[in-house]
Amino acid sequence: MLVFNHKEFFWKRTILMLLIAFLLIPAGQAQRRVSGTNIHYEEGDWISYSNTRYVNSLAIGTQYVYFATTGGITRYDIFQSRWNFPFTTSNGLPSNNILTVAFDVGTSHLWCATTEAVCYYNPGSRRWRTLYYDELGMSGGPVTSIGFSEHQIWLVTAEGQTFVASKSDMEFIKETLRTSEDNKDSIIWFGEKGFVPLTLPQFFLPDGIIFFPGPDRTYLQDFKLRQFDFSYYAVDPWQTLWFGTRGWGAGNANMRTQNMRLLPFGLIGQDVHALASDGSGLWIGGVQHSDPIKGITYWDQKHNTWKYFEARYLTRMRSDDVTSIAPDGRYVWFGTLDGLVCYIRSKNQWYSYTVFDGLSDNYIYDVIVDSQSVWIATEDGLDRIDKHSIDKGSPIIEHITNPADKVTVFDIELDRQQLWAGTNYGIYFYDTVKRIGGYYRGPNGPGARIVTAVSANNDQVWFGTLTGVEVYDRVHRVWKGPPERRFATNLPVITIKATDKAVWVGTEQAVYKYDKQRRTWRLFTTEDGLLDNTVQAILPAGDYVWFGTPKGLTRFYWNAPYRID
């Protein structure tokens, strides 16, 4: 997986690319407003996951407990005791920073408020609709409280202004405090006005976590001595306390037995640079520059549980700024900004390898494995580790490219016995059996241009460059050029994945799909369901494909039988 910036220019080049991307946005598109769910897709076609550890409020519904977080609305099924997929901008919300969430028992509609709008979800149509404050004639800051009476909906802003509408027409008008006070006995409030302070008992938690109740501050403290304030809580009819925190996510507690548990969900950090499946779950990594809590996420999809690994609290785990991931049976390999990290799952042990162990450079762009070797793409060359030497406790690291070349290897791909590498000198190829290799310098293809991404499938090898894609026919040994050039992007390619039916190309402005049968290109953006237009990791999974972006992880049901893209 390519992390596009060199380490010494990471921030400068990132800022420059963001400025260029902003300037390339057509006038008016940057301020485009989302009216609700994209009608061209069905619910579940686009599902996204982000950092949902920061909870602003919650609402107890008839089936779910809804948590308003900075990463969307998370939903915990009360009866099945499991998380369902969250509602995010992929489902039609205008923002993932949800301030207030509310559930109307009378209509079964789910409501929420962001800094710019209120939204409601109709479970019958499975569609979201957005009502922007200025379009409703509302002022006084964002909505902090949402209430429901038998026939009306009540909204209260941060400045205390009250608006009311009939459930039948949704036409909000400003009301006086007296009007809302006259109806206070019949209004069920959520958000700020719905919070009921309680004197909480001393709950008990596992794993060394301590609960501190208090009249002025209620918080959790983990075994790392980090403190996480309670942000909101409410009690359901079964005497279960549901709560949200600032930094640890959500949880619940039995008011009778006084046992409390945390309910981990979502990513530890929203940036996703690397994705890999081990058959049972997903390993997810990224580069979290400013987040005080960061690490590697493992989502056990079989049991729908989430686990996190933080380098600062794990011995021999040098870095959790992850650029690539390669599961390998009992091992999981991580390429990071500061060396190669190995996790031995059976022993729950971590090991790190750096230039002091023989690596060409600590800045790693990609790592892949086969039955005998670990291949590492670094800032200063391509390396190989003999897996048998790792088992013996003393890794043998071999430099594949000439150390004097100081070549930056961005991406590597194994195609049978052939290894393809994208470098700043063009394409490097290496025969893993004959142990010989070299740089491609032919008149066709990318030549000596920078190659940022590589992906092989069947008889074709796809290469991403700073100006689009090139395709090599491995059987006939000819360059086919960019397929359907008039549809191809001229943007720098960050990542590329070729499959039997389609080729996915991640850029800074969209993800492009090339349909091999129809020979057509189709682009997907945030208007379709991406969390962010910068796609920096792609993981095909049959009829689905996963995208890693700076704002989180998105799954797309690309091969839905009821839709032709």
Q: What is the pLDDT of residues 10-29, one digit of tens each?
A: 333 333 333 434 334 443 34
Write out the two tokens for 208. 């060394």
Determine which of 339-343, 447-451, 488-492, 558-562 has the lowest per-residue pLDDT on average: 488-492
Specify the pTM: 0.92
CA dist 29 → 23, 310, 380, 527 (Å): 11, 38, 40, 10
Every domain of the chain and the residues it spans: 52-194, 210-263
Q: Kindly report the CATH class assigned to 52-194.
A: mainly beta
Identify the pLDDT of residue 392: 73
Coil, strand or helix: which one is 487? helix
Mean pLDDT of 325-347: 95
Beta strands in 143-272 (DSSP E): 143-148, 152-157, 162-166, 173-175, 188-191, 210-212, 219-221, 227-235, 240-245, 250-254, 260-263
Over range 152-178, report the average pLDDT: 89
Local confidence band at 181 (pLDDT 50, 70, 90 cut-offs): low
Q: Percentage of the chain surpassing pLDDT 90?
A: 82
Q: Kindly report the average pLDDT of the chain as a whole number.
A: 91
Tokens 């991931």 label which residue? 325
Cα–Cα distance measured from residue 11 to residue 228, given in angstroms and rounded to the nearest whole number: 30
Residue 488 — very low, low, confident or very high, per pLDDT cuts 50/70/90?
Answer: low
DSSP string, 320-345: -BEEEEEEETTEEEEEETTEEEEEET
Q: Is the dihedral of CA 480, 481, 483, 486 positive or negative?
A: negative
Least confident of 180-189, 231-240, 285-294, 418-427: 180-189
Is residue 393 very low, low, confident or very high in pLDDT (cuts 50, 70, 90)?
Answer: confident
Q: Could you report how far apart the first and last alpha carbons of the chain are, in Å?
A: 26
Residue 40 DSSP SS3: coil
Phi-psi sector, 486: left (phi>0), alpha (psi -120 to 50), beta: alpha
Enter the tokens of residue 319: 């870095």
Q: Is the pLDDT of residue 552 over 50?
A: yes
Using the 8-state DSSP alphabet, how is residue 182 labeled? H
CA 143 to chain centre: 27
Angle at 382 between CA 379 and CA 384, to 5 degrees: 130
pLDDT tens figures, 476-486: 999 998 887 65
Contacts of 492 (CB under 8 A, 6+ apart): 4, 452, 465, 466, 467, 507, 508
Predicted local confidence at residue 206, as pLDDT: 85
pLDDT at position 487, please?
A: 55
Q: In what order do the strands lie in the sheet with 173-175?
A: 173-175, 162-166, 152-157, 143-148, 188-191
**What number is the average pLDDT over the span 138-157?**
94
Please give the pLDDT value at position 481: 82
Per-residue pLDDT at 7 exceeds 70: no
**What is the model's pLDDT at position 441?**
87
Q: Is a pLDDT exceeding 60 seen at residue 530?
A: yes
C-alpha gyration radius of the chain? 26
pLDDT at 136 exceeding the cut of 60: yes
